[in-house]
Amino acid sequence: MQTNTDSGQPVIEISQVTTSFGDHIVHAGLDLDVRRAEIFALIGGSGSGKSTLLREMILLHRPDSGSIRVLGTDLHGIGDDETLALRRRYGVMFQQGGLFGSLTVAENVGLPLREHTDLPDTLIDEIAALKIAMTGLAPEAGLQYPSELSGGMMKRASLARALALDPELLFLDEPTAGLDPESAAGVDVLVRKLRDMFGLTIVMITHDLDLLWQVADRVAVLAEGKVQGIGSMVELEHMDNPAIRQFFDGPRGRAAHEQAQAEAKKTSVETGRPSSKPK
């Protein structure tokens, strides 16, 4: 668990954002801050506007009004050069992986380096191999095509590509969706390692309660166009708000919490120290 997030500076500052599609208001004056080096999760029911907000943070969609600052840059009216410079500073792992099917994993991972740098091919290949190894894939996976990968391998390959340019900020869209429990647990460990070892700020959208209990420092619950509550899972669990309660009161919510408590107990027995999880 990150212990210094309270003093962390915001790397994303969202203020009074409104977004609508026709008559449909998705964000109605939404405020949110993400602090440096925290693992931050966005949760909310289907259609609550999580993906749209993520798309706004990565410059794929513009809100109708309000302000979004990412890594100190105001996204409103941002020019092409600034956009390019900002895009180099964050990585995105899309839900479906977003890998090019006609390229090998290594070629996919090397692609951002070819697009954004003048590095020689040999160095790009070396960096791609390093990123592939960082995500726990075997070196041979670099030679495979996306269609030859399992779901877990696909997520890791996509993550390796998101890490290609050594981002300060990483966006993960449903990083464990569609994975078996073992692969999903591997992603939990990987996400925490990336933050702990490289100080990355991680913003993720997830419905995975295990992932939320195991790795998220703070979680924001979206509903009715606004953030209904924000805090650690323990803090949220004690908030009296119907949009928040539904995440904890269902059978999946209870099972994930029980598992998190069991894991925390196991860690404290193994290390002889009290565990910081669940928070």
Binding site for ligand ATP (CB under 6 A): 21, 24, 26, 44, 46-52
Pick 72 or 250: Cβ nearer ligand ATP: 250
Q: How far apart are CA 1 and CA 268, in angstroms?
A: 14
Pick 133 or 177: Cβ nearer ligand ATP: 177
* DSSP-derived secondary structure letter, 142: G
B/e letters for 123-135, b = 16+ CB within 10 Å, e = fewer, are ebbebbbebbebb
CB of 123 to ligand ATP, least distance (A): 38
CB of 38 to ligand ATP, least distance (A): 21
CB of 190 to ligand ATP, least distance (A): 22
Tokens of 50: 């999580």
CB of 259 to ligand ATP, least distance (A): 23
CB of 141 to ligand ATP, least distance (A): 28
Pick 54 or 105: Cβ nearer ligand ATP: 54
Pick 142 or 229: Cβ nearer ligand ATP: 229
Question: Helices H, strands E: what count in the chain?
Answer: 10, 10
Where would I find the H helices in 135-250?
151-162, 181-198, 209-215, 233-237, 242-249
Pick 60 or 234: Cβ nearer ligand ATP: 60
Beta strands in the chain (DSSP E): 10-21, 24-35, 39-44, 65-70, 73-74, 90-93, 169-173, 201-205, 218-223, 226-231
Pick 106 or 223: Cβ nearer ligand ATP: 223
In Å, how far from its chain's centre is CA 269? Answer: 30
CB of 265 to ligand ATP, least distance (A): 32
Pick 36 or 226: Cβ nearer ligand ATP: 226
The residue among 213, 194, 242 whose CA lies nearest residue 93 is 194
Q: Give the orientation angle of helix 105-116 with respect to helix 151-162, to 10 degrees.
A: 20
Number of Cβ within a 10 Å radius of residue 272 = 6
CB of 208 to ligand ATP, least distance (A): 12
Say if residues 187 and 177 touch (Cβ distance below 8 Å). Answer: no
CB of 202 to ligand ATP, least distance (A): 18
Pick 50 or 279: Cβ nearer ligand ATP: 50
Instruction: Give the CA count within 13 Å in the CB-facing half-sphere of 148.
Output: 10
Say if residues 164 and 110 touch (Cβ distance below 8 Å). Answer: yes
